[in-house]
A = this chain, B = another copy of it.
Amino acid sequence: MSEPFKYTRRVQFAETDLAGIVHFSWMFRYMEEAEHALWRAAGLSVADPAESAGWPRVAATFDFKSPLRFEEEFEVAVRVDEVSARSLRFAFVIARGETVIGTGTLTAVRVVKDQSGALRSTPVPADTVARLRAAAGSQPHS
């Protein structure tokens, strides 16, 4: 299996809750941030203003293993996990050093706006998949 793309982040104060740890909903935002960084590394944007296409979510999951706390640094590893005709699934591992914080997935479907303004699902371009996959492998590994 190819190398995942790595995105590094630090926990911010507003992301914690009264239990003293990161609120669980932030794991979904952390995954999305990593995914979008992968798009940029591939020379793409998930929300290219020049395109009428978009990538709404159709599914999101996360399994929580360990808590994250204020000011901790962590890493989000992301892979293109599964490609179907009209959707992409990304798989994620969030970790703080050797400690796995949790694992999750985001599935997005490609849509375009037709002339009436309605969204219609549409095939994922092969080139998009190739570029996303290549971006992870080309990341400098320090």
Using a CB–CB cutoff of 8 Å, the interface residues on chain A facing chain B are: 12-14, 16-21, 23-25, 27-29, 32-33, 36, 40, 45-47, 54, 56-64, 67, 69-71
Query: Which residues in B have their C-beta under 8 angstroms from that of A69?
Result: 18
Number of this chain's copies in the assembly equals: 4
CB distance from A46 to the nearest CB of B (A): 7
> Which of B20, B27, B59 sits near A62, CB closer than 8 Å?
B59
With a cutoff of 8 Å between Cβ atoms, the chain B residues found around residue A23 in the complex are 13-14
Q: Is the CB–CB distance between A47 and B70 below 8 Å?
A: yes
Q: Which residues of B contact A67 (CB under 8 A)?
A: 56
Contact B19 A54 (CB under 8 A): yes
Contact (Cβ within 8 A) A60 B24:
yes
